[in-house]
Structure 1
Amino acid sequence: MYRPAAFAEADLGALDALLAGDNFITLTTVHDGTPVVSHLPVLYRRDGERVELRGHWARPNPQARHSGRALAIVHGPHAYVSPGWYPDKEAAARVPTWNYAVAHLEGELQTFDDEPSLAALVDELSNQHEAAVGSDWRFEPERDDHRSQLRGIVGFRLAVDRVTLKFKLSQNHPKANRVAVADRLDALDTDSNRAVAALMRARFAP
């Protein structure tokens, strides 16, 4: 990933926040020289610098037969930035851009399909997301019809050994420009724009 020094983020707490906000990732592997991509919800765990993702594919997904090196992309909030918002737009001949936060997680991909591990994965994922939407469906391991559904999926673990965080939030601009952009994004009043504005303000110099 192209990552100018101004946009490099080193704090793994920023990764925690990205995945707490949205744990739907893009998972990429390569088979016979061809990239293979899936879009999946995952469970995230970090212990110090040790990071692990767990999730599952539908069993017919070709990627469910892959292992080895893989790349998971975590998509944070993003927003268009108009050059008209900068106080120095004329003097500096500013141009349009896009602000965003993203993480690339590289590591070794391992698959599993034993019933206890799949049941635990589905239970944890569904509990997390059911609570988020105020619903109460749960995986019931005592039910044969629930357990039988596990035969339709393959689980994976991604043991992450390289984390690359890029937070492109106008850090290469004077503070007056950053303040003006954050204010305009807030005024647009959408979740993604407000989230980018909040990330920008968290990085303002004192």
Structure 2
Amino acid sequence: MYVPRAFAETDLAALDRLIERDSFVTLVGIVDGVPHATHLPVLYRRDDQHVELRGHLARPNPQARVAGPVLAIVHGPHAYVSPGWYPDKEAQSRVPTWNYAVAHLEGELELFDDEPSVASIVDALSVHHEFAVGGDWRFEHERDDHRSQLRGIVGFRLVPRRIQLTFKLNQNHPAANRLSVAANLDSLAQGTGPEVARLMRERTPV
């Protein structure tokens, strides 16, 4: 990923927040010589600089049979920025841009299909997301019909060897421009503009 120095983020707490916001990632690998992408929820764990992603793939998915190098993309909020929002738009001949936050995690995909490991992933994912929606469904390992479903999936683990975070939030602009853009994004009635505005304010010196 191209990461201009002004937009590079090095604090992994920022990755924590991106995953907490949206743990539905894009997993990209090479299958039969061509790029292959799968969109799926993951479990995330970080211990200082050590990061781990776990999840599962449908067994018929070609990506479920190819261990090796992959890229996991964590998607953050993003928003269009109008040049009309900059106080210095005329003097500096400003142009439109797009503000966003994203993370790329590169590493070796490990695949496994032993029942206890795959069951623990299904259970942990369901507990997390059922709680978020006020549900109470649980994976019941003692039920044959629940266990039989595990045959249709393959578990995976990814420990990234490289993590890149890009938070492109007008850091290359004066503070007055950043605050003006944040105020305009806050006024939008749809999209993730207010989320981008919050990230911008957090990174704008006062």
Question: Shorter-chain TM-score: which interval?
Answer: over 0.9
Counterpart AA for 2:142: E
Structure 1 moving runs of 4+ over 3 Å: none
Residue identity opposite 1:69 in structure 2: P
Partner of 1:186: 186
Shift of 1:30: 1.2
After superposition, what is the alpha-carbon deviation per residue over 1:65-92, rounded to whole angstroms, capped at 9, x for unaligned?
0111111000000001011111111111
> Could you say which residue in structure 2 is the equivalent of 1:37?
37
Size of the aligned set, in residue pairs, is: 206
Mapped contact 2:79–2:191 kept (Cα < 8 A):
no
Shift in Å, 1:32: 3.6
Matched with 1:122 is 122
Mapped to 1, the partners of 2:66 and 2:97 lie a distance apart of 37
- The whole-number CA distance in structure 1 between the counterparts of 2:125 and 2:95 is 42
Contact kept, 8 Å, 2:52 with 2:157, in 1: the verdict is: yes
* CA distance, structure 1, for counterparts of residue 110 and residue 126 of structure 2: 22
CA RMSD of aligned residues (A): 0.9
Partner Cα distance (1:72, 1:79) in 2? 22
Q: Please give the alpha-carbon distance, in whole angstroms, between the structure 2 residues aligned to 1:127 and 1:194.
A: 29
CA drift at 1:177:
0.5
Shift of 1:39: 0.5
2:147 paired residue number: 147
Q: Distance in 1 between matches of 2:175 and 2:118?
A: 49
The 10-residue stretch of structure 1 (25-34 or 57-66) with the greater mean CA deviation from structure 2: 25-34
Structure 2 match to 1:83: 83
The amino acid across from 1:65 in the alignment is R
Residue in structure 2 matched with residue 162 of structure 1 by the alignment: 162
The SS at the match of 1:137 is coil
Given that residues 8 and 165 in structure 1 are in contact (C-alpha distance below 8 angstroms), is that contact kept between their aligned partners in structure 2?
Answer: yes
Q: Is the 1:29–1:35 Cα contact (8 Å) retained in structure 2?
A: yes
Q: Does 1:62 align with 2:62?
A: yes
Which residue of structure 2 aligns with residue 102 of structure 1? 102
Whole-angstrom distance in 1 between the partners of 2:22 and 2:6 = 24
Report how far residue 191 of structure 1 moved: 5.4
Hey, what's the Cα distance between the residues in 2 that align with 1:31 and 1:149? 25
For residue 96 of structure 1, what is the amino acid of its counterpart? P
Q: What's the secondary structure of 1:173's corresponding residue?
A: coil
In the alignment, the residues of structure 2 paired with residue 166 and residue 178 of structure 1 have an alpha-carbon distance, to the nearest angstrom, of: 17
Residue of structure 2 equivalent to 1:12: 12
Structure 1 contact 46–52 (Cα < 8 Å) conserved: yes
- Which amino acid letter does the alignment assign opposite residue 192 of structure 1? T
Percent identity between matched residues is: 69
One-letter code of the match for 2:108?
E
Question: What amino acid is the match of 1:154?
Answer: V
TM, length-normalised to structure 2 = 0.98
